[in-house]
Amino acid sequence: MYPTAEPAAGNVHFEAALERVTDAVVITDAEDNVTYVNAAAEKLTGKSRLHAVGQPLAEALLIVDANNGQAIDAAVALAKGSDDDASSQNNAVLLGGGDGAIIIEYSVSVMRDERGNFRGSVTVFRDVMRRRRAELALQASEETLLANAEALFEEKERAQVTLNSIGDAVISIDFRGRVSFLNVIAEKMSGWTQAEASGRLLDETFFLVDSTTREHVSCPAMRAIIENKTVRIESTCALIQRDGTESAVEVSASPIHDKDMGVIGAVMAAHDVTVASDLSAKLARLALHDNLTGLPNRTLLADRLGQALERAQRNAGVVSLLFLDLDRFKPVNDTLGHAIGDELLQAVANRVHGCLRSSDTLSRYGGDEFIIVLADIAHADDALPCADKVLAAVNAPFEIGGHRLQIGASIGIASSPHGAIDAMALMRNADRAMYHAKAAGRNGYRIYSPDIVPLEGIT
């Protein structure tokens, strides 16, 4: 049993959520090759995931930044080297999409392991042409007010229907900064109805704070009026709703003009990015943890074991690796079913974790196998009390689903430097010692020594 690279752990509920979000999502691995494309991305790009998965990001996603003409992989490279793992919204053109060239907004978030190493990226993008057309429609309706009341009513009604059908919050204010219109999404996001918000100052009904500093952020609509230009808040803000809850939003505002191009107000659009932000965080966790137990998976185990061995070599310390295989687990799984078996594995993980120090690592290696890394210990013999505690914890009966279950464990122990100085050899030697513990009658441990030979066929 050797350490191998493992892809990001899957989660059917999480993938189902990805398939239902309106934003297009494309995920890559550490080599910038596409590993996942959701349904929205398929529709917007006109490419099936079968075509995109496995391709380099720049080939699968033909995005050109509107400001500098660079392809999407340049944005990923910039995010890799930045201290901020999430880029701001960028204007871009999607080439070769289902409708030809499409104006989009996109952002790039990077996934890192606990050492800060790059593990992949998440690109989220959306078609903004529809929203911009709606903003222009609302601006046109305000301008018409000065010329023709009847035409204004029809145009405003059309604009309101349009704005109520999109997924972004849209708010318009007059020249004094007082609310004149909220669409349905703005009502839901802020907690204020159109009737309640009308005539109030925008900052009173749409209160924003900086996500990092928690300081109040003035809504950009008044800046759009004063500066007579479109204003965007580059960093993600938190909208504090009327009931005190909050959501992550991206906000932009544009001035509204009369027929003589005088500024008479502003329209502001806010996009809820809470789901996208949560998805990035969850994807990063899923890439490094076992889906059933929440323990570090093989990828994170290899990283932590490598770090522990490097420290041990620098400080003349010792790293002990305990390879644990459950005894009599298969009959439980076969007779009582996988659901009971899964609950038992979770219970074992919790008990064993309670036997360890905060600096130790417990990983589910696969099936009913677990690996414990004891880092920064003074002597190899320091691993033995831990092995005794783990055996006692696993031997105690488990009450699972109305069943009293009695299992045990066989443990193989290998310690650096005499048990091996590299991760692969240390794990291989602990694995061999574990099989000898099983052959000796199970429910015990065996310490690796060079005279141990490989055994096979013992489960």
Q: Catalytic residue numbers?
A: 368
Other Cβ atoms closer than 10 A to 209: 15
Contacts (Cβ under 8 Å, ≥6 apart) of 151 = 144
Tokens read off for 267: 């329209």
Tokens read off for 244: 């005190």
Please answer whether residues 364 and 345 qualify as being in contact, where contact means their C-beta atoms are separated by less than 8 angstroms: yes
Measured CA to CA in angstroms, residue 84 lies from 27, 88, 116, 168, 239 at distances of 18, 10, 12, 25, 21
- Kindly give the pairing relationship between strand 318-327 and strand 361-366: unpaired
Helix pair angle (423-439, 298-315), 10° resolution: 110
Please answer whether residues 230 and 246 qualify as being in contact, where contact means their C-beta atoms are separated by less than 8 angstroms: no
Cis peptide before 417 (omega within 30 of 0): yes
Contacts (Cβ under 8 Å, ≥6 apart) of 100 = none
Measured CA to CA in angstroms, residue 72 lies from 69, 82, 116 at distances of 9, 16, 22
Report how far Cα 74 is from the mean position of its chain's Cα atoms.
21
Please answer whether residues 349 and 370 qualify as being in contact, where contact means their C-beta atoms are separated by less than 8 angstroms: yes
- Kindly give the pairing relationship between strand 408-415 and strand 444-447: parallel
